[in-house]
């Protein structure tokens, strides 16, 4: 009897769930609530990791040898003697008004530093992404056109290797080729936009290329599936019957139809690009967000670490949520591939 | 999905090639790292075992670095923290990920599912390297901290995949049948579900290992991973960066080891994911 009731309950649940879930995903309020809840939890994790794990920030800044008295003094100076809850509220309300607090080491506001660093990191990430897509689509189409031949196997192997090479290693190899062997581009450093726009672009080419090559390898693997799929649709067959060539069809029909799922794939790469940028900036000595973060780690400037991590997590979480929403654009087969 | 039989044969053979190459690479990396525990051609930490920046020769197959340390010995010894990190990260991510994934799949549309999803979504926002950098800032750099943080960061990926696969399996007849026999969810999970999830779990474990190698190499390159004096591939790359115009092979050797190890794990992951897809058809 109990089993029957159990099963009845289960089946009732199954029959009910599908429409409810669909409605839920359509409701914008629920999405926003989910985003807010996730970001709230993320900010708690970020805050607690920095402030609660062994010892107070004062202790971490001064090191283990410091006397408790000095730690207490520093904590008081930095406003870290207030109750944790109070500190958290101050920090979060500050973030919401883009007031990122004051540096523990220099006492200056950190917001201008972050803003300046973003002037490098954002173009770097966007540049890497654009280069990645620009290389991925032709490659993926080439694989499709040459499928089941040695060329496609060769390209696929090359891409597999590209996926496996960390972007900082690609960056170092590029440095060797373009800065050491042939002194075409600067090996490190950044010329600011205000000084010389062409100089800035020059110093961003190699870093963006290192990110872009890895992205190209990753994106083209998915793009290959998407292209195969779109080129098997009836409207492509119809276009072929009208005598159009595959390249023309791909440019006029295919590209438009793979854009939505492609954006989803690119969204999945958000965290990869961000993390890649952190390391690549270090390779090329670019004073971007990654360098700012690593300097903060070195100087024990915990508030800056906390801020930058939260900034990155906010971006990644938001994009992840958008990706989740866009899954309905993707064909079921590909969904399994990605998840 | 109609595929001709020859095509399937062709697919199967490429999948097997992946398995063979992947296993070979991973096996080689593991064995030379373990060998480094008992034997390396020269002591990995000892300076001036040969001339500074010696070229490739019989006595120094990969040459020596600027301090006259044998590169082969250092690369071998540098494999150890990699293997150690992979094991640690997988011990953290796989059990927790599988537990959370199956739990939320069984508890679909309940408060538990909602809570687990929220936790997964939250953790998913922390990229592995970023979480590692944060934890290293507070706890100090060590192999343990680096590996554990990568493991934690990988939990949500495992949980998500396991949840989707579990939901699909739970909908099938043999699970319903087991329920009518009166088996509890726990015994069904252990007896019926997990055997069907093995492929997915191995696939995720391999992806996790590949991510761990990547993240720990980046961390030790940044000086936030395994602390010196233990040689690591990332640290060797970082040291070689300064001498790249004098001796590029110092950079190439550890870089090839990092890329090859990641490649090996990726091939294994690919093999297990394509195997699953065939099984599903």
What CATH number did the domain enclosing B56 receive?
A: 1.10.3720.10
d(CA B236, CA B246): 15
Chain A residues whose beta carbon lies within 8 Å of the beta carbon of residue B137: 50, 60, 297, 300, 302, 305
Task: Give the CA dihedral A250, A256, A257, A262, nearest 10 degrees.
Answer: 100
pLDDT value of position B205 = 94
| ipTM given for this complex | 0.84
Kindly determine whether residue A7 and residue B218, on different chains, have CB atoms separated by under 8 Å. Answer: no
Whether the Cβ atoms of residue A303 and residue A101 lie closer than 8 Å to each other? yes
The parent domain of residue B102 ranges over 9-279
CATH of domain A120-330: 1.10.3720.10
Whether B208 has a pLDDT exceeding 90, the answer reads yes
* DSSP code, position A231: T
Assigned token pair, A217: 């390898």
pLDDT in tens, chain A (339 residues): 444 444 444 444 444 444 544 554 456 777 788 889 999 999 998 888 888 766 556 666 666 666 777 777 777 777 776 777 888 888 888 888 877 777 777 767 888 888 888 888 999 999 999 999 999 999 988 888 887 788 888 888 888 888 888 889 998 888 888 877 787 777 777 777 777 777 778 788 889 999 999 999 988 888 888 888 888 888 888 888 888 888 888 888 888 888 877 887 888 888 888 889 999 998 888 888 999 999 888 888 888 888 999 999 999 999 888 887 776 555 454 454 444
**pTM of the complete model:** 0.84
Sequence-distant (≥ 6) Cβ neighbours of residue B138 within 8 angstroms: A49, A50, A53, A54, A60, A302
Alpha-carbon distance A34 to B121, whole Å? 9
Residues in chain A: 339
Dihedral (C-alpha) B42, B46, B47, B50: value to the nearest 10 degrees?
-20
The rounded distance, in Å, linking the Cα atoms of B132 and A122 is 22
Note the pLDDT of residue B151. 95
- A313: chain B residues, CB-CB within 8 Å: 125-126, 130
On chain A, the residues whose CB falls within 8 A of the CB of B133 are: 278, 293-294, 297, 305, 309
Rounded Cα gap, residues B148 and B85, in angstroms: 8
E-assigned strand segments in A49-142: none
CA angle B1, A148, A329 (to 5 degrees): 45
* Residue B52 Rama label (left phi>0; alpha psi -120 to 50; beta): beta
Q: Which residues from chain B sit within 8 angstroms of residue A214, using beta carbons?
A: none
Chain A residue whose CA is closest to B161: A339
Number of domains making up chain B: 1
Instruction: State whether B130 and A300 contact (CB < 8 Å).
Output: no
**What is the SS3 assignment for A329?**
helix
Q: Where in chain A is the domain with CATH 1.10.3720.10?
A: 120-330
Residues of chain B with C-beta less than 8 angstroms from the C-beta of A339: 160-161, 164
Closest to B74 (Cα-Cα) out of B32, B135, B119, B117: B32
Q: How many helices (H) and strands (E) does chain A have?
A: 16, 0
How many residues does the structure list for chain B? 281
Q: Of A3, A160, A274, which is closest to B263 when you measure between CB atoms?
A: A160
Across the interface, do B125 and A336 touch by the CB < 8 Å criterion? no
Distance CA A261, CA A256 (A): 10
What is the pLDDT, as a whole number, of residue A15? 46
pLDDT, one tens digit per residue, over B2-13 is: 444 444 555 556
Q: B203 to chain A: which residues are within 8 Å by CB? A: none
**CB < 8 Å to B118, chain A:** 34, 37-38, 41
Query: Nearest-CA neighbor of B146 among B70, B216, B95, B51?
Result: B216
A191: left (phi > 0), else alpha (psi -120 to 50), else beta? beta
Q: Please report residues of B whose CB lies closer than 8 A to that of A279.
A: 129, 218, 221-222
Residues 6+ apart with CB under 8 A from A97: none
Cβ-Cβ contacts under 8 Å for B251 (sequence gap 6 or more) = A172, A173, A176, B237, B240, B241, B244
Give the residue from B15, B97, B110, B127 with the most A CB atoms within 10 Å of its CB, the best one to mutate: B127
- In this predicted structure, the answer to whether residue B102 has a pLDDT above a threshold of 70 is yes
d(Cα A133, Cα B95) in Å, to the nearest integer? 36
Question: Are A7 and B122 an interchain contact pair (Cβ–Cβ within 8 Å)?
Answer: no
Residue (of A289, A282, A306, A287) closest to A122 by Cα position: A289
pLDDT at res. A22: 52
- Tens of pLDDT, residue by residue over B13-67, are 665 788 888 899 999 999 999 988 888 777 777 777 777 777 777 777 787 877 7
For the record, the structure tokens of A317 come out as 């979480």
Query: Higher confidence at residue B215 or residue B230?
Result: B215
**A161 contacts on B by Cβ (under 8 Å):** 259, 263
Mean pLDDT across B203-223: 92
* pLDDT score recorded for residue A13: 46
The residue in chain A having the minimum alpha-carbon distance to the alpha carbon of residue B185 is: A6
Q: Which of A6, A54, A294 lies at the smallest CB-CB distance from B222?
A: A294
Q: Contact B267/A320, CB-based, under 8 Å?
A: no
In a domain, residue B3? The reply is no
Asked if A54 and B139 come within 8 Å (Cβ–Cβ), the reply is yes
* Count of alpha carbons within 13 angstroms of residue A77, beta-carbon side: 14
Q: Residue B281 class from Cβ within 10 Å (0-12 exposed, 13-18 middle, 19+ buried)? A: exposed
Whether pLDDT at B226 is above 70:
yes
CB B197 within 8 A of CB B166: yes
Measured CA distances, A25 to A28, A30, A39, A330 (Å): 8, 7, 18, 15
With an 8 Å Cβ cutoff, are B125 and A274 in contact?
no
How far apart CA A82 and CA A91 sit, in angstroms, is: 12
- Cis peptide bond prior to A19, omega within 30° of 0: no
Q: Chain A residue with minimal CA distance to B121?
A: A38
How distant is the Cα of A245 from the closest Cα of chain B, in angstroms?
25
| Cβ neighbours for A156, distance < 8 A, ≥ 6 positions apart | A143
What are the two backbone dihedrals, phi and then psi, of residue B70, each rounded to the nearest 5 degrees? -75, 120
Q: What is the mean pLDDT of the segment spanning B190-218?
A: 91
pLDDT at A17: 47
Q: Which long-range contacts (CB under 8 A, 24 or more apart) does A148-155 make?
A: A148/B10
Query: CA–CA separation, B281 vs B277, rounded Å?
Result: 7
Question: What is the distance between the alpha carbons of residues A80 and A58, in angstroms, rounded to a whole number?
Answer: 8
Contact B137 A297 (CB under 8 A): yes
DSSP letter for A308, please.
H
Q: For residue range B169-184, what is the model confidence (pLDDT) as tens digits?
A: 888 888 888 888 888 8
The string of DSSP letters for chain B reads: ----HHHHHHHHHHHHHHHHHHHHHHHHHHHHHHHHHH--SS-TT-S-SS-TT--S-SSSTT-B-TT--BHHHHHHHHHHHHHHHHHHHHHHHHHHHHHHHHHHHHTTTSHHHHHHHHHHHHHHTS-HHHHHHHHHHHH---HHHHHHHHHHHHHHHHHHHHHHHHHHHHTSHHHHHHHHTT--HHHHIIIIIHHHHHHHHHHHHHHHHHHHHHHHHHHHHTT-SSPTTS--HHHHHHHHHTTTTT-THHHHHHHHHHHHHHHHHHHHHHHHHHHHHHHH-
Candidates B109, B245, B258; nearest CB to A169: B258
Q: Per the CB < 8 Å rule, is A274 touching B127?
A: yes
How far apart are the C-alpha atoms of A300 and A296, rounded to whole Å? 6
- Kindly state whether residue B126 falls inside one of the protein's structural domains: yes
Q: What is the dihedral of CA A21, B199, B263, B94, to 10 degrees?
A: 70
Instruction: Tell me what the mean pLDDT of segment B263-268 comes to.
Output: 92
Res. B275: pLDDT tops 80: no
Reference B128, options B208, B235, B220; nearest CA is B208
Contact (CB, 8 A) for A286 and A120: yes
User: Do B237 and A305 count as a contact with CB atoms less than 8 A apart?
Assistant: no
């Amino acid at each position: 009897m109990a089993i029957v009731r159990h099963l009845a309950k289960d089946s009732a649940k199954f029959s009910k769930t599908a429409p409810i879930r669909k409605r839920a995903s359509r409701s914008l309020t629920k999405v926003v609530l989910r985003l807010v809840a996730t970001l709230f939890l993320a900010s708690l994790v970020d805050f607690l990791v920095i402030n609660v794990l062994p010892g107070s920030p004062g202790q971490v800044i001064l090191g283990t040898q410091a006397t408790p008295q000095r730690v207490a003094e520093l904590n008081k100076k930095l406003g870290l003697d207030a109750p944790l809850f109070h500190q958290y509220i101050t920090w979060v309300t500050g973030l919401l008004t883009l007031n990122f607090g004051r540096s523990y080491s220099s006492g200056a506001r950190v917001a201008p530093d972050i803003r300046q660093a973003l002037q490098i990191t954002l173009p770097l990430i966007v540049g890497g992404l654009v280069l990645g897509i620009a290389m991925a689509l032709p490659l993926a189409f080439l694989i499709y056109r040459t499928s089941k031949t040695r060329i496609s196997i060769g390209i696929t192997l090359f891409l597999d290797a590209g996926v496996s090479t960390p972007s900082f290693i690609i960056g170092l190899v590029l440095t060797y080729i373009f800065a050491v062997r042939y002194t075409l581009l600067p090996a490190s450093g950044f010329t600011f936009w205000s000084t010389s726009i062409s100089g800035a672009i020059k110093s961003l080419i190699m870093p963006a290329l290192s990110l872009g090559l890895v992205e190209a390898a990753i994106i083209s693997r998915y793009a290959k599936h998407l292209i195969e799929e779109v080129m098997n649709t009836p409207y492509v067959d119809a276009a072929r019957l009208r005598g159009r060539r595959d390249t023309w069809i791909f440019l006029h029909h295919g590209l438009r139809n793979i854009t939505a799922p492609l954006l989803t794939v690119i969204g999945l790469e958000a965290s990869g690009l961000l993390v890649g940028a952190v390391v690549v900036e270090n390779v090329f000595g670019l004073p971007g967000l990654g360098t700012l973060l690593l300097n903060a780690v070195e100087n024990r400037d915990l508030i800056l670490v906390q801020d930058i991590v939260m900034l990155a997590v906010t971006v990644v979480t938001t994009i992840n949520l958008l990706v989740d929403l866009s899954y309905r654009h993707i064909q079921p087969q590909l969904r399994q591939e990605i998840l | 999905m109609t595929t001709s039989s020859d095509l399937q044969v062709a697919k199967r053979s490429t999948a097997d090639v992946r398995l063979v190459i992947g296993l070979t690479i991973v096996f080689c990396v593991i064995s030379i790292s373990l060998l480094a525990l008992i034997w390396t051609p020269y002591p990995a930490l000892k300076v001036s075992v040969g001339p500074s920046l010696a070229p490739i020769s019989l006595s120094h197959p990969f040459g020596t670095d600027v301090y006259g340390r044998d590169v082969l010995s250092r690369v071998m010894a540098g494999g150890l923290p990699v293997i150690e990190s992979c094991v640690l990260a997988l011990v953290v991510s796989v059990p927790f990920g599988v537990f959370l994934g199956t739990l939320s799949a069984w508890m679909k549309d309940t408060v538990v599912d909602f809570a687990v999803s929220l936790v997964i979504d939250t953790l998913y926002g922390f990229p592995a390297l970023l979480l590692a950098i944060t934890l290293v800032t507070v706890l100090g750099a060590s192999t343990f901290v680096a590996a554990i943080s990568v493991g934690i960061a990988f939990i949500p990926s495992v949980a998500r995949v396991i949840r989707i696969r579990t939901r699909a399996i739970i909908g099938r007849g043999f699970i319903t049948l087991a329920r009518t026999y009166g088996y509890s969810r726990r015994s069904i999970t252990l007896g019926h579900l997990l055997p069907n999830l093995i492929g997915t779990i191995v696939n995720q474990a391999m992806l996790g290992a590949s991510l761990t190698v990547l993240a720990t190499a980046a961390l030790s390159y940044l000086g936030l991973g395994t602390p010196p004096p233990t040689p690591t591939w990332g640290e060797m790359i970082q040291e070689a960066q300064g001498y790249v115009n004098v001796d590029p092979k110092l950079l190439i050797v550890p870089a090839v080891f990092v890329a090859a190890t990641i490649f090996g794990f990726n091939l294994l992951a690919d093999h297990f994911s394509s195997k699953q897809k065939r099984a599903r058809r």
